[in-house]
Structure 1
Amino acid sequence: MKKIKGVIDRFEEGFAVVEIEGKTKDYPKDIFPKNTQVGDVVYITGNQVKIDRQETQKRAKEIESLMNEIWED
């Protein structure tokens, strides 16, 4: 079964909206771990979802760095 990498974009009415390669796809919220948050990097295989905390943290630091560059002036 194919492993899909995505980022949680938002939650809507029982669904998790996941960004995958620039497009969004809805998945049932109940297949995600209870502690899943917006911005988490996830790997989806069928109905199994794993949060990649290390990749999520790395991504958050990159975004923070970019924001700091923009607001330095």
Structure 2
Amino acid sequence: MDENRTGVCIIDRFEEELAVVEFEGRFTFDLPRSLLPEDAAEGDVLRMNITIDQAETKRRQELADAMLRAIMKTDE
């Protein structure tokens, strides 16, 4: 299965510091306006590419495991 996903998003409108973005004509979601280019406007088409950061995922899992081991450690 392809790890990369792409999709077409359209900026529907802005609500304060959020952009309401329509994805593939199916649903909308809020995106912080600060993540968009400064000149982004209503109706602009955005191309998004979402990938999994395998290294960061592994690092966080290892950190969580270490924290759990520290919590579960008992003095015997």
Match of 2:15 in 1: 12
Give the structure 2 partner of residue 30 of structure 1: 34
Greater fraction strand = 1
1:43 Cα deviation after fit: 1.1
Unaligned runs of 5+ in 1: 47-73
Identical aligned residues as a percent = 37
TM-score (norm 1): 0.55
The structure having more radius of gyration, on CA atoms, is 2
Greater relative contact order (Cα < 8 A, sep 6+): 2
Partner amino acid for 2:28?
T
TM-score (norm 2): 0.53
- Number of corresponding residues: 46
Which consecutive segments of 4 or more residues in structure 1 shift more than 4 A? none
Aligned alpha-carbon RMSD (Å):
1.4
